[in-house]
């Protein structure tokens, strides 16, 4: 099943996936509906956040990437109705975003727009990242 995720610098070495910090966990949103993903991206842009690209990718690949990266993947179904403050952030980004000027630095806390690990990480991390990147690129 294809889901829609928000990517920054798609296809570049600095590629990153949009994430949220919810209850101490880094969360990647997977939108069932493209329009919901486009709307969320527009809300980010309205807050002067870098504009992400909406990409349709295989849900299992995103979930695998999230497990390997220590993130939580959350599915935002068509017609999703939030039941908590955290779930409201799955429909509209928080009014305050963290500084993302250096979102690629591996020692920075997870933030919205957290980058995939940089090429300067350990050899095993690089290999893991390259494997995930190849799988994601194969879906595009």
How far, in Å, are 44, 45, 89, 123, 130 from residue 95 at the CA level? 9, 12, 10, 38, 34
For residue 50, what is the enclosing H or E element? none
Radius of gyration for the chain, computed over Cα atoms and rounded to the nearest angstrom: 14
Task: Look at the block and give the residue holding tokens 């990242």.
Answer: 129
Lowest mean pLDDT among 2-11, 93-102, 118-127: 118-127
Between these two residues, 98 and 106, which has the higher pLDDT value? 98
Give the tens place of pLDDT for each residue, 18-55. Answer: 998 888 899 999 999 999 999 999 988 888 888 899 99
Q: Model-level pTM?
A: 0.67
What is the domain extent for residue 53?
2-139
> Which residue carries 């990437």 as its tokens?
65
Higher pLDDT, 63 or 97: 63
User: What is the total count of domains within the chain?
Assistant: 1
Cα gap 98→95, rounded to integer Å: 10
pLDDT of residue 67: 95
């Amino acid at each position: 099943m294809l889901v829609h995720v928000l990517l920054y610098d798609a296809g570049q070495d600095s590629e990153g996936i949009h994430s949220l910090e919810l209850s101490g966990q880094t969360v990647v949103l997977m939108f069932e509906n493209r329009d919901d993903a486009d709307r969320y991206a527009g809300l980010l842009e309205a807050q002067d956040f870098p504009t992400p690209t909406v990409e349709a990718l295989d849900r299992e690949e995103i979930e695998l990437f999230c497990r390997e990266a220590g993130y939580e993947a959350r599915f935002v179904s068509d017609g999703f109705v939030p039941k908590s403050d955290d779930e409201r952030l799955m429909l509209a980004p928080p009014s305050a975003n963290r500084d993302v000027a250096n979102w690629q630095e591996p020692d920075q806390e997870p933030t919205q727009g957290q980058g995939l690990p940089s090429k300067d990480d350990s050899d095993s991390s690089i290999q893991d990242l390259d494997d995930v990147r190849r799988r994601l690129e194969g879906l595009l």
